Structure 1
Amino acid sequence: MFLEIFESIRDFTETGGVILLIIGGLIFVMWILILERIFYVTYGHKQFKKQTISTWQSRSDRSSWNAHQIRQAMISRVSLKLRFSLPVIQALVALCPLLGLMGTVTGMIVVFDVMAMSGGGNARSMAAGVSQATIPTMAGMVGALSGVFASTWLTRTAKTERLHLEDALEIQR
């Protein structure tokens, strides 16, 4: 069972070429970062938010200009922790289709090499190049789409949590 799955994955990666392995590694790193952010938002952020709110509420001065600056610094710290690896995730999402396009180009080079050597009439020998051109494109687009959805959710969650914190850190008048 495990051996059959491994062989299927190996055959798929051989069909897609070296670029497919690079795309797979990129998607793996991207999802590790996404899962880390989801874990932080779900568990770590709540504790840090409670600690920040209790620190603010324990202050005696919450109305002066200095207190406003401290409040903004606290909100910024929480926001930075929420958005920690989002730019990296967004960059990896943008790289996925670009690497897919690179796989398309390298696959088409294989097709043109086959056409140059055997003439244009051997469709069977060109099929390997065509699959090497289309599989990385598909993999890059699937990785980018999954990353876009996760990245959008994380960005929206970070913005929402920042607004909730701003509301929780009320200013005395």
Structure 2
Amino acid sequence: MLYLIELWESVRDFIAAGGDVLYVVALALFLMWVLMIERYWYLTSVFPKMRKDIVSKWDAREDTTSWYAHRIRDAWISQASDGLSARMLLIKTLVAMCPLIGLLGTVTGMIGVFETMATQGTSNPRLMAAGISMATIPTMAGMVAALSGVFFSSRLEARVKMAKEKLVDSLPHH
């Protein structure tokens, strides 16, 4: 329990040093990870059942060679593809937004530095250091958030692509 309290205090100190923009970075990071975990769950739990259902419906068809049968096959593949690709664009957008949110923190921190310089002068380096810290920490946090998302979202995208290809391969058209 003491470890959790110390961890919370260090997070609180980090946010205090980086400014309120870190809350926005944390929100974007949380949302990104919730969406990625949901997509992994979909790929491992929901889609295999859907794939099995589509393949069994295709195998049960008597007509698999006509133009009409191929349009049905294409429609089933398209519906499954839509389910697989759902929310992937949102995940990629959140990954791209994290560094930009960090840069917003940099701008607000530098404004704080300039305000300090305007009101206190340049003779107090301690006050300027706090503002510079508030300018650099959000950038670092945004970059770390984006890096964690880039790796896992690209792996997720590759798995989605493989799942689509396996579905297409398992529905032979004669």
TM-score range with shorter-chain normalisation? Answer: over 0.9
State the one-letter code of the partner of 2:61. R
Give the TM-score of the pair, scaled to structure 2.
0.96
* One of 102, 110, 115 as aligned partner of 1:113: 115
Aligned residue in 2 for 1:165: 167
Partner Cα distance (2:168, 2:108) in 1: 51
Q: CA RMSD in A?
A: 0.9
Partner Cα distance (1:160, 1:81) in 2: 14
Unaligned runs of 5+ in 1: none
After superposing on structure 2, the runs of 4+ consecutive aligned residues of structure 1 that deviate more than 6 Å are none
Give the TM-score of the pair, scaled to structure 1.
0.96
State the one-letter code of the partner of 2:171. L
Number of positions where the alignment pairs a residue of Structure 1 with one of Structure 2? 172
Aligned residue in 2 for 1:132: 134
Unaligned runs of 5+ in 2: none
Aligned residue in 1 for 2:28: 26
Tell me the alpha carbon deviations over residues 55-95 of structure 1, each in whole angstroms, 9 at most, x when there is no partner. Answer: 11111110000111111111111111111110111111111
What is the CA distance between 1:45 and its match in structure 2? 1.2
* One of 60, 69, 72 as aligned partner of 1:70: 72
Aligned residue in 2 for 1:89: 91
